[in-house]
Structure 1
Amino acid sequence: MPSRPAATSGTPAPDRGQWRLEVDRLACAGSGLCLATAHGRLRLDAGRARAVAELTEPDARVVDAAEICPMEAITVRDVNTGEILAPRL
């Protein structure tokens, strides 16, 4: 699995502003777990996940999708700080 920088804090707070939802489409296996977890925030495109919108309002389902991804292909970042909110290592 690809290595990722560790998050700098614990659980994301819902009042932090916008989040950036990134999907590494080369790492994505297309399992669809993220789509079921964060319905409406991700979609399949050519058999791989893609964010519906790059920026999103804070949503625990987005964090859950990043955490559940078997390939660690989804990253959630705080737009203002660049801090990785998920996946937590």
Structure 2
Amino acid sequence: MGDRWHVEVDRGVCIGSAQCIHHAPDAFRLDSGMQSRPVEAEADANEKVLAAAEGCPVEAVMITLLGSGEPVFPPED
């Protein structure tokens, strides 16, 4: 995976389960409202961040390819 990603958390959907932090502790943090946010909005493509998005019980983590905006997760139907 040589791509760069834009990582975002939909704070209107996030329930603060911290599953993203479990999968990618260096990439996500809980804020004072107990909602997740990415440490950096841009990241190198990696399996831990993808696992964090896939592990979110409410699919609040969205990943797109930086530049093109093509969805990585959740995938387009």
Cα RMSD over matched residues? 1.1
The residue number in structure 1 matching 2:16 is 30
Equivalent residue runs for 1:2-41 within 5 Å: 14-16=1-3, 18-41=4-27
Higher strand share: 2
Q: What letter is aligned with 2:16?
A: G
The residue number in structure 2 matching 1:7 is none
In 2, the alpha carbon distance for the partners of 1:72 and 1:60 equals 16
SS at match of 2:54: helix
The residue number in structure 2 matching 1:9 is none
Q: What letter is aligned with 2:59?
A: E
In 2, the alpha carbon distance for the partners of 1:41 and 1:64 equals 11
Contact 1:63/1:87, CA 8 A, preserved across alignment = no
Taking structure 2 as the reference length, what is the TM-score of the superposition?
0.90
Between the aligned residues of both structures, percent identity stands at 35
| Shift in Å, 1:39 | 1.2
Equivalent residue runs for 1:1-89 within 5 Å: 14-16=1-3, 18-45=4-31, 46-88=33-75
Q: What letter is aligned with 1:22?
A: E
Q: Name the larger-Rg structure.
A: 1
Taking structure 1 as the reference length, what is the TM-score of the superposition?
0.79
- Following TM superposition, the consecutive aligned residue runs of length 4 or more in structure 1 with deviations greater than 4 angstroms are none
- Give the paired residue count: 75
